[in-house]
Structure 1
Amino acid sequence: MDRVPLVDYLVLGDEPHLVAQECTTCGARYFDRRSACASCGLQEFHAVDIPTTGTLRSFTIVHSAAAGVQVPFVAGIVDCDGTSVKGNVVNTPPDPEHVNLGMPVRLTTMSIGVDAAGVEAVGYGFEPAN
């Protein structure tokens, strides 16, 4: 089965990971395409691999979402060795007993769906590392 990442900055394979674009002048990192750095305004970037482990720095438990989206779920911000990454916290119950600030997490991938041609879309999230 063919697999495609849901976002351009997710690299699949034996060791899935995220790749950011880093400004060569000031070191600011971005996951989306940039014409210029929002921090310093210059226009040169290079790709950097983001660590697959991190610390949950902020989160919210979402109880209301668009039709078809299963709730509750945990939306979080993870510090991956200095790079902030937005992602859902998965593979744990979505409640404060199981999700807390400072908890160690690791990148994981999951199937988002398969189209009529049999191509699987793959997304990412973070799961507890303990």
Structure 2
Amino acid sequence: MAGKIPFVDYLVLDDGEPHLVAQECANCGARFFDRRNACAGCFATEFTTVPVATEGTVRAFTIVTFAAPGIPTPFVASVVDCDGTQVRANLVNVEPDPDHIRDGMKVRLTTYPVGTDSEGTEAINFAFEPAN
């Protein structure tokens, strides 16, 4: 197999356990995913790369029943609080039903393949799943 690559730049696969990294403002501590030229909170321009907790708590969710052609529905879109860093991600390995999901639910980071190129390189994405 040719290997694995992260689907997004802020997913780290080759440093022990998979985890996310954020850009943290050196002035106010606000965290962002992907590259930033300036902080949206204080307009400072210096950032450091910091790891994001791999476990968190669901703070908001919605069950998506209509999507673009080719995207299977229903699925659960959520906002997860990972020790103070807000992460937007899908919830997986849980029934897309309000009887099985709740605000305050404990979740953990998981990864899954989203495709393989012609040379056998797998693209890996992230989501969260119930922690228990």
**Which band: TM-score by shorter chain?**
over 0.9
Q: For residues 41-76 of structure 1, what are the alpha-carbon distances to aligned partners after superposition, in whole Å with 9 as ceiling and x for unaligned?
A: 110000000000000000000000011111000000
Q: CA RMSD in A?
A: 0.7
Q: Give the Å deviation of 1:35.
A: 0.4
Gap regions ≥5 residues in structure 1: none
User: Displacement, 1:98?
Assistant: 1.0
Paired residues in the alignment total 130
Q: 1:113 aligns with which of 112, 115, 123?
A: 115
Deviation at 1:115, TM superposition (A): 1.1
Alignment of 1:1-130 (within 5 A): 1=1, 2-13=3-14, 14-130=16-132
Aligned partners of 2:113, 2:58: CA distance in 1, in Å?
Answer: 23
| Aligned equivalents of 1:9, 1:84: Cα separation in 2 | 14
Quote the Cα distance in structure 2 between the aligned partners of 1:32 and 1:109. Answer: 18
TM-score by length of 1: 0.98
What TM-score do the two structures reach when normalised by structure 2? 0.96
Instruction: Give the residue type in structure 2 aligned to 1:43.
Output: T
Counterpart CA distance in 1 for 2:116 and 2:127 is: 18
Q: Distance in 1 between matches of 2:117 and 2:100?
A: 33
Query: Counterparts of 1:17 and 1:118 in 2: how far apart (Å)?
Result: 23
Cα distance per residue 1:9-63 (max 9 Å; x no partner): 0001330000000000000000021001111111000000000000000000000
